[in-house]
Amino acid sequence: MQSYAQRTGGYKVGDAVPFPLSFPRGFELDKKVRKWLDDWQRLPYISPYEDGSHLTPRSDITEKRTAAVLHEVLSLTVGKKMEKEVLVKLGEALRLPPGFRKVLARHPGIFYLSHKLRTQTVVLRESFRRHMLVDKHPMMGIRYQYLHLMHMGQEEAGKRKGKGRKTVRGEQMIGEEFGAEGENDDEDEEYDDDEEEDMEAGVASGDEDSDDDDDDDEEGEKEDMEAGVASGDEDSDDEDADDTDHAAKG
């Protein structure tokens, strides 16, 4: 983000750099939450490569730097996503402040939490249009082709057993040369991790349970964000205290 702001001109260290936000269709924020988010976006951007130890704990500017670190980590990955458990471990290694996990839930416009196949995956929203990566890395193309071959083998094995099954989503993804950029932005957003997991698990494209899960995810994101804005949240303080005690013991 910082490099992009510098390339576009007019950026100085400590200036406010807003995060690109992308909410699901139909996602609406309460006026109080919207005002807080607008004010939060105007805070100075502290580079994830700078020392943030001087920042006041549990402050909005500390939260913005934490979001910047998580954003930078995800942007450095090939798929612009990472399993939540792995990201949390990495955040602890980077000595992010206690309770940094809540940043993922409090900012659904920046991060998307996928719960496919009982695995929580954190996705960087701005890197996707519809269900495909905006900037496609060659390694992702190789991965798609590998998954496609795996799925074809599974389909052939099923046909030999008289249990042939069609793979509409997988064929669409490969046939369109890994997807077109920015088409029909009004459509509901889905992500590559969902596509890959569906292919690996052999899930049919019309799975109603999967659609219900996505709806639940979006509702959960909204509730988490609205609940997290209140600074006097007792549960939040208790969790932060537990994290601090755990860090001290470690």
Q: What is the mean pLDDT of residues 168-172?
A: 48
Do 114 and 98 share a structural domain? yes
Task: Flag whether pLDDT at 9 surpasses 90.
Answer: no
Q: What is the mean pLDDT of residues 91-112?
A: 94
Is there a domain that residue 223 lies in? no
Last residue of a domain, one of 126, 159, 184: 126
Q: What is the pLDDT of residues 175-222, one digit of tens each?
A: 444 433 333 344 444 454 444 554 444 433 334 444 445 555 555 555
Cβ-Cβ contacts under 8 Å for 51 (sequence gap 6 or more)? none
Structural domain including 153 reads 132-213
Is there a domain that residue 233 lies in? no
Is there a domain that residue 142 lies in? yes
For position 230, what pLDDT does the model report? 53
Do 147 and 62 share a structural domain? no
Do 120 and 137 share a structural domain? no
Do 113 and 158 share a structural domain? no
Is there a domain that residue 100 lies in? yes
Q: pLDDT averaged over the chain?
A: 74
Last residue of a domain, one of 81, 103, 126: 126
Q: What is the mean pLDDT of residues 223-235?
A: 54
Is there a domain that residue 182 lies in? yes
> 6 near 45, Cβ under 8 Å?
no
Do 29 and 109 share a structural domain? yes
CA distance 45 to 214: 32
> 210 near 203, Cβ under 8 Å?
yes
Task: Flag whether pLDDT at 154 surpasses 70.
Answer: yes
